[in-house]
Amino acid sequence: MNDRYGWRGRIGHVSPGLHDTQGLEFDRLLPEGVMVVTTTMTVQSLAAEEFEQSFSLMEQRALALAREEVGAIVIGGDPIFCLKGIGSHQKIIDSVHAKTGIPTSTTISAAMDALRSLNVKRLALATPFAPEKDESLRRYLEGSGFEVLAVKGMGIARNVDFTRLPFDASYRMAVEAFSKAKGAEGLYISCPRWPVVMNIDRLEKELGVPVITSTQAMAWFGLKSLGIKEPIKGYGTLLEGLDHA
């Protein structure tokens, strides 16, 4: 029945920081009848102590979403998992799924699964992060079986500043990263708190490779988990191919 919000399904989202840009971007991507249920934590400055605190709360927050009867759970925080070490995303996925039986992923694992589904192993990486966070993410991706040919970041250290970036910032970073990544088979734009999704289709057309972004990958995982496989047009190859996922 389409007489209520979320009548087709609810995707649970554990956000390390406040819920702002990613909420607007989810709304662009998700079909009518699908809603996101978000719980937030305390990351504001991307500092190690904030990451540790948020990591300690992730499972608790995910279990709270399960009690709200969501149909899928996605846990955000690429830099947090990079700090905790390669494979840390899988440990929390396994723990939450074992306790809830609900399909569970993380932003970074959803993105890596999306890249693999499109046969992308050699990639360019664009982020809003500072250089040390970029290198940490590069190491995590490479330790997970990818080859990162180039990285371009904005050098920003506060979450609130991500949300203030102009719409074309992620486009410019993506183009610069790709231009340095000879032989790249795809592009990953990390972080859901800077404006990204409106640039996916343009980038794919101009660069000629698949583009994966954090919010897009979370939506892809969530929709698949809910059994919703209708193609979503205008936001890249990944979502347009949902009917074959």
* Tens-digit pLDDT string for the chain (245 aa): 678 999 999 999 999 878 889 999 999 999 999 999 999 887 666 666 776 777 778 899 999 999 999 999 999 888 888 888 898 899 999 999 999 999 999 999 999 999 999 999 999 999 999 999 999 999 999 999 999 999 999 999 888 898 999 999 999 999 999 999 999 999 999 999 999 999 999 999 999 999 999 999 999 999 999 999 999 999 999 999 998 77
Residue 47 lies in a domain: yes
Give the domain CATH number at 179: 3.40.50.1860
Residue 86 lies in a domain: yes
d(CA 233, CA 112): 21
Range of the domain at 184: 110-213
* 116 and 102 assigned to the same domain: no
Strands (E) in 120-227, as ranges, are 122-129, 147-156, 186-189, 211-213
Residue 149 lies in a domain: yes
Number of domains in the chain: 2
* 118 and 102 assigned to the same domain: no
Question: What global pTM score does this model have?
Answer: 0.94
Tally: H helices and E strands in the chain:
11, 8
* 155 and 96 assigned to the same domain: no
d(CA 199, CA 77): 21
* 16 and 134 assigned to the same domain: no
d(CA 207, CA 202): 8
